[in-house]
Amino acid sequence: MGLKWKIAAFLGVAVSLLAAGLWLWASRINILDNIDTMIGELQRIGRVNAWAAAAAVIAIS
């Protein structure tokens, strides 16, 4: 296995771990029982999930 393949494999693993960490972070965001702050928190969860999905796409390419 050449050096290029090892680097590519390492980057794939690193980006996969990044995606998993982002999804874990998004799942740990607390949503309070207040309608004024609930929408903002749901939007923040959506943004974190979007970054995690982008990292997953990069990891599988």
| Token reading at 46 | 């959506």
pLDDT tens-digit series, residues 2-61: 999 999 889 999 999 999 999 999 999 999 888 888 999 999 999 999 999 999 998 887
Mention every residue, 6+ apart, whose C-beta is less than 8 A from residue 4.
Answer: none
pLDDT at position 25: 94
Rounded to whole angstroms, the Cα distance separating 6 from 21 reads: 22
pLDDT at position 23: 94
pLDDT at position 26: 93
For residue 52, the enclosing domain spans 3-60
pLDDT at position 18: 94
Is the pLDDT reported for residue 1 higher than 80?
A: no
| Overall domain count for the chain | 1
Question: What is the length of the chain?
Answer: 61
